Amino acid sequence: MVRQVAFAVPGHLDTPTGGYAYDRRIIAELVRLGVAVGVTNLGEGFPWPDRETRTAALAALERVAPGSPVIIDGLAYGALPELAGDYCRSRTVIALVHHPLALETGLSTEAAARLLASERAALAGARHIIVTSGATARILVADYHVPPGRIAVAPPGSDRVARARGNAAGPLALLSVGALVPRKGHDVLVAALARVADLDWRLTIVGPRDRDPATAQRLEAEIAALGLAERITLAGAVTPDRLAEYYAAADAFVLASRFEGYGMAFAEAASCGLPMIGTTGGAIPDTIRPGAGLLVPPDDIDALATALRRLIGDRALRQHLAEAAFAAADRLPTWKSSAEIIAATIEAIT
């Protein structure tokens, strides 16, 4: 069993996103397995670091003890293709890919091409690659020329929690969880909800607003322009305890992501027994088990509005989806099992 590993992340581990939540929980579980984990902060601004941040990040990685395997979060690793040279030849480097950088929504064609080339070059040097879903593994094989034998799938774990109590009196309580960035599709959700404004619902969107301030401002303006300011709440980033309260008080979960490398929020919703609406973007169809939710194509406002009308207007459908989601949660992976996959992977390659 490996006894020591370095874990390099871009910025602070307490950043309120799914990727950082994954890193935090995996680190904690590795420690419980008896692995000493040293955390290295590679700085802010990835995947577009300035020259000073890039230089500091490379220097920080050089300070990692040569004998220690090092896991590097893909948000930084894919932007540091120079690591594929001498560094990867002299170290045991494992890349952790939450989702390919070039698939972030809103990139120009040129920016996406730059990130694709950068991440492809970086991944060529890694001893092994950990991904959070089979869907991401397939993308790396097809588009990044990574041999399947160099990929291990360690999906996010799920915690068993009490079933959501919902909002028995008053409007149907919808919940969406995700940073206010283009990839999460909150703009599509708001547009679709405007088409079902005749129904009785309220939506709370939980997620940091500072990841992309311009997107957050546009979303707020669109909500106001559609006359939905009294029905949609942008709650911002919240503590884990507060997030659990939002899940518990919800009647249904909806997230219109254009792409997800896994979709941790869907797994959390399933654990609470919430009926779900999602999209077919990325790994979401693998995360939402059959019968547990309604899936629509990304960016399809008409289809999403139709799904919302069905879900909001049909109590029996919500109950059916909720039962299927809660049952499917028993088959979701645990954080311990995912950490064991990672520990076994490191052991095998060292």
Residue given tokens 């590993």 in the structure block: 5
pTM of the predicted model over 0.85:
yes
Residues β-bridged to residue 277: 254, 294
CB 72 within 8 A of CB 19: no
In tens, the pLDDT along 215-266 reads: 999 999 999 999 999 999 999 999 999 999 999 999 999 999 999 999 999 9
Bridge partners of residue 94, in order along the sequence: 71, 128
Range scoring the smallest mean pLDDT among 52-56, 159-163, 182-186: 159-163
Reported as a pLDDT band with limits 50, 70 and 90, residue 16 is: confident
What pLDDT shows up at residue 1? Answer: 66
pLDDT value for 266: 96
Mean pLDDT score, 21-30 = 96
Structure tokens at 69: 């395997």
Residue 168, pLDDT above cutoff 80: no
User: How does the average pLDDT of the chain come out, rounded?
Assistant: 95
pLDDT at 66 over 90: no
3-state secondary structure the chain: CCCEEEEEECCCCCCCCHHHHHHHHHHHHHHHCCCEEEEEECCCCCCCCCHHHHHHHHHHHHCCCCCCCEEEEHHHHCCCHHHHCHHHHHCCEEEEECCCHHHCCCCCHHHHHHHHHHHHHHHHHCCEEEECCHHHHHHHHHHCCCCHHHEEECCCCCCCCCCCCCCCCCCEEEEEECCCCHHHCHHHHHHHHHCCCCCCEEEEEECCCCCCHHHHHHHHHHHHHCCCCCCEEEEECCCHHHHHHHHHHCCEEECCCCCCCCCHHHHHHHHCCCCEEEECCCCHHHHCCCCCEEEECCCCHHHHHHHHHHHHHCHHHHHHHHHHHHHHHHHCCCHHHHHHHHHHHHHHHC
pLDDT in tens, 277-300: 999 999 999 999 889 999 999 999
Residue 8 pLDDT class (50, 70, 90 cuts) = very high
128-158 pLDDT, tens per residue?
999 999 999 999 999 999 999 999 999 999 8
Residue 2 confidence (pLDDT) above 80:
no
- Check whether 122 has a pLDDT greater than 90: yes
Q: What is the pLDDT of residue 237?
A: 94
Angle between helices 186-194 and 213-225 (to 10 degrees): 0
Mean pLDDT of 72-88: 96
Q: How far apart are CA 271 and CA 163, in angstroms?
A: 7
CA 262 to chain centre: 6
pLDDT tens per residue, range 174-216: 999 999 999 999 999 999 999 999 999 999 999 999 999 999 9
Rounded Cα gap, residues 344 and 209, in angstroms: 37
**Ordered structural domains, the chain, with CATH:** 4-156+333-349 (3.40.50.2000), 172-331 (3.40.50.2000)
Confidence of residue 3 (pLDDT cuts 50, 70, 90): confident
Angle (nearest 5°) at CA 62 between 61 and 67 = 95
Average pLDDT over residues 7-12: 96
pLDDT at 67: 87
Residue-wise over 280-318: b if at least 16 C-beta within 10 A, else e? ebbbbbbbbbeebbbbbebebbebbbbbbeebbeeeeeb
pLDDT of 318 higher than 80: yes
- As beta bridge partners, residue 153 has 131
